[in-house]
Amino acid sequence: MAEPIEIGLTFDDVLLVPQRSAVSTRRQADTRTRLCRGIELAIPVVSASMDTVTEAAMASVIAREGGIGIIHRFLPIADHVAEVRRVKRAESVVIETPYTVGPEATIRHAAAFMEEHGSAGILVIDRDRRLLGIVTARDVLFEEELDRPITAAMTPRARLITAPAGTPIEQAKEILHRHRIEKLPLVDAEGRLVGLVTSRDIRSRLRYPDATKDEKGRLRVGAAIGVRGDFLERAEALVNEEVDVLVIDIAHGHSDLAFATVEAVRARCPDVPLIAGNVATAEGTRDLIACGVDGVKVGVGPGSTCTTRVVTGAGVPQLTAILNCGEAAAEAGVPIIADGGIRGSGDLVKALAAGAETAMLGNLLAGTEESPGASVTRNGRQYKVYRGMASLWTSAERRDMPHEDELLSEIVPEGIEAMVPHRGGAAAVLTQLVGGLRSGMSYCGATTLAELRANARFIRVTDAGVREGMPHDVDPLS
Ligand code: XMP
């Protein structure tokens, strides 16, 4: 041990010193940021790639609010791709390839298809893609003769309102309104289906002006991949489904295995933005950036379900990790994501002030309606299951192991299974978080997140300071 031991700090060890501010209302604070090179967000929030946090429902709501979700990787490739597809199809200006069936399909098949894809309607086309009709979920709801052809249940072409290819969106909106319809198929001069405009998409565009969208007006979504097994095949399948970003997930991102993975994925999928992590040092950040990643995920052991630090003795307190990694990444113009340990808006502001351009949230979102975790009732209160991705049972399921003691004993978990209180909808959680962030920016005299990073002055606090900062000497009402 030649060098003196550095001190590592985390969120509770510091506060941001209030500074003169010209910001008069919270609304003046602009929270736009970058997830990675090439992807901008209206709010600096990323939902964690964990199987009790992010699938299509979570990714869709987070993207509508201006952040982005990363679909976890602990499901078969076909299902992983289907989750991405659900988000990409959740809304768009014009759906270029609407769901279709042929006239020979049965009502049973069409109903199952709509159910599986979460779609409220399906178009019937012939072999030359000529539009024959439309079927909605309502048309088949009480149908008893499910083996009849779909043509028996559809609204036929003659009674359908359609519009020509290339109809401007304002005009499509007017037609939908005039005819009080939900779906407007677009057809070319030969009557072939070329797209679909839905009133739901138009409503959503007006309602969520800050949504994170791609150039075709579809919600953006990311997906995680691992470093072993089918990761390359998975990466390719996700990119074919037009996933917006891939996140290489490895507990120790400063490793030869991580670099080899980045290079292999880059070679197979040269154009997709690539994020890798996790690291907790400037060297780790620089080495990943040298491999060509577009974003770096930072955090070794700060997560609420992590036991990495207890089990391995390794890690860096998260604020110090963000400061060090952020400085190294800024030299290269690459954003970092602060991953783990964010318990509320105060931690979010500190993470962003320390150098992160976004924060990945697990715990705060795991208790929301949109998370895939199971609901549990305990003592009359509602909770949702939230589990670390390196916890015992998660690791066991992943290895496809029978749950026998001798095999389970080979697993060295670095996470725990837990539950978190039910928190309602994710959008409401984000409203509180982003509201707190805006206030925090104004205390630092910042109207943008770049100014927040530049202006930030941290002060270290003692345990007495932490206690003073909590409600004290009162009996809370709830
Ligand atoms: P929060 O604090 O939001 O953190 O719950 C979410 C992040 O925790 C990481 N994670 C783990 N880390 N063992 C770990 O050491 C685990 O089992 C585990 N599961 C998740 C991950 O980075 C996530 O985004």
Ligand 1 and 301: CB distance under 6 A = yes
304 marked as part of a ligand binding site: yes
Which of these, 99, 11, 66, lies nearest to 458 by C-alpha position?
Answer: 11
pLDDT-based confidence at 404, cuts 50/70/90? low
Same domain, 312 and 282: yes
Per-position DSSP letters for 90-148, written without gaps between them = T--SSBSS--EE-TT-BHHHHHHHHHHHT-SEEEEE-TT-BEEEEEEHHHHTT---TTS
Residues 241 and 373 in one domain: yes
Q: Tens digits of per-residue pLDDT, 26-84? A: 888 999 999 999 999 999 999 999 999 999 999 999 999 999 999 999 999 999 999 99
In the block, residue with structure tokens 């490895």: 250
Residue 46 lies in a domain: yes
Neighbours of 179 (CB within 10 A): 10
Cα 378 to ligand 1 centre (Å): 24
* pLDDT band of 400, cuts 50, 70, 90: low
Out of 36, 269, 306, 325, the active site residue is 306
Question: Known binder of ligand: residue 340?
Answer: yes
Q: Any catalytic annotation for residue 398? A: yes
Task: Report the residue among 11, 47, 68, 305 best suited for mutation to probe ligand 1: largest number of ligand atoms under 8 A from its CB.
Answer: 305
Q: What is the pLDDT of residue 174?
A: 92
Please give the pLDDT value at position 395.
Answer: 79
The half-sphere exposure of 136 on its side-chain side, counting CA atoms within 13 A, is 9
**Residue partners of 449: CB distance under 8 A and separation at least 6:** 30, 31, 32, 33, 44, 352, 357, 441
Q: What is the pLDDT of residues 280-320, one digit of tens each?
A: 999 999 999 999 999 999 999 999 999 999 999 999 999 99
Q: Give residue 196's identity as a one-letter amino acid code.
A: L
139 and 284 both lie in a single domain? no
- Is residue 145 annotated as involved in ligand binding? no
Q: What is the structure's pLDDT at 100?
A: 92
- Two tokens, residue 471: 């409600």
Residues 225 and 197 in one domain: no
Same domain, 303 and 170: no
Q: How far apart are CA 153 and CA 143, in angstroms?
A: 9
Q: What is the tens place of the pLDDT at every residue in 334-362?
A: 999 999 999 999 999 999 999 999 999 99
Written as six digits, the tokens of 422 are: 């039910």
- Specify if 214 maps to a domain: no
CA dist 330 and 134 (Å) reads 52
Average pLDDT, the chain: 93
Please determine, for residue 402, whether its predicted confidence score (pLDDT) is greater than 60.
no
Tell which of 207, 236, 268 closes a domain.
207
pLDDT at residue 384 greater than cutoff 70 = yes
292 and 366 both lie in a single domain: yes
Cα–Cα distance measured from residue 127 to residue 104, given in angstroms and rounded to the nearest whole number: 11
Which atom of ligand 1 sits closest to the CA of residue 277? 22
**403 pLDDT more than 60:** no
CA of 388 to the centre of ligand 1 (A): 6
Return the pLDDT at 399: 63
Residue 44 is predicted with a pLDDT of 98
249 Cβ inside 6 Å of ligand 1: no
Check if 345 has its Cβ closer than 6 Å to any atom of ligand 1. Answer: no
Indicate which CATH number applies to the domain containing 77: 3.20.20.70
Shared domain check, 85 and 106: no
CATH number for the domain that contains residue 116: 3.10.580.10
Which of 45, 73, 306 to probe ligand 1 with, by most ligand atoms within 8 A of CB? 306
Q: Which residue has the higher pLDDT, 369 or 22?
A: 369
Residue 25 has pLDDT above 90, yes or no: no
Domain shared by 153 and 179, yes or no? yes
User: Is 339 annotated among the ligand-binding residues?
Assistant: yes
Report the number of distinct structural domains present in the chain: 2
Q: Are 28 and 439 in contact (CB under 8 A)?
A: no
Cβ–ligand 1 distance for 140 under 6 Å, the answer no
Q: Is residue 471 part of a domain?
A: no
Q: Which of 178, 207, 236 is the last residue of a domain?
A: 207
| pLDDT at 396 > cutoff 80 | no
Q: Are residues 128 and 191 in the same domain?
A: yes
Q: Is 170 annotated as a binding residue?
A: no
Residue 397 reports pLDDT greater than 80: no
Q: Do residues 173 and 300 share a domain? A: no
User: For 246, left (φ over 0), alpha (ψ -120 to 50), or beta?
Assistant: beta
Containing structural domain, residue 190: 100-207
Residue having the nearest C-alpha atom to atom 14 of ligand 1:
306
Most confident range (mean pLDDT) of 109-118, 157-166, 291-300 is 291-300
Q: Judge if 387 and 441 occupy the same domain.
A: yes
Three-state DSSP string of 6-51: CCCCCHHHEEECCCCCCCCCHHHCECCEEEECCEEECCCEEECCCC
In-domain check, residue 361:
yes
Peptide bond into 363 cis (omega under 30): no
Q: Would the pTM count as exceeding 0.85?
A: yes
**pLDDT-based confidence at residue 405 (cuts at 50, 70, 90):** low
In a domain, 474, yes or no: no
Q: Is 443 exposed, middle or buried (0-12, 13-18, 19+ CB in 10 A)?
A: middle
| Residue 5, in any domain of the structure | no
- Tell me if 414 CB under 6 Å of ligand 1: yes
Mean per-residue pLDDT for 144-158?
A: 90
- Domain limit, last residue, from 207, 235, 253: 207
Q: Is 417 among the domain residues?
A: yes
Q: How far apart are CA 167 and CA 171, in angstroms?
A: 7
371 lines ligand 1 (CB under 6 A): no
391 located within any domain:
yes
Shared-domain flag, residues 271 and 187:
no
The pLDDT of residue 242 is 96
Tokens of 69: 């979700």
Pocket test for ligand 1, best of 50, 247, 395 (most atoms within 8 A of CB): 50
374 has pLDDT over 80: yes
> How far apart, in whole angstroms, are the C-alpha atoms of residue 142 and residue 152?
14
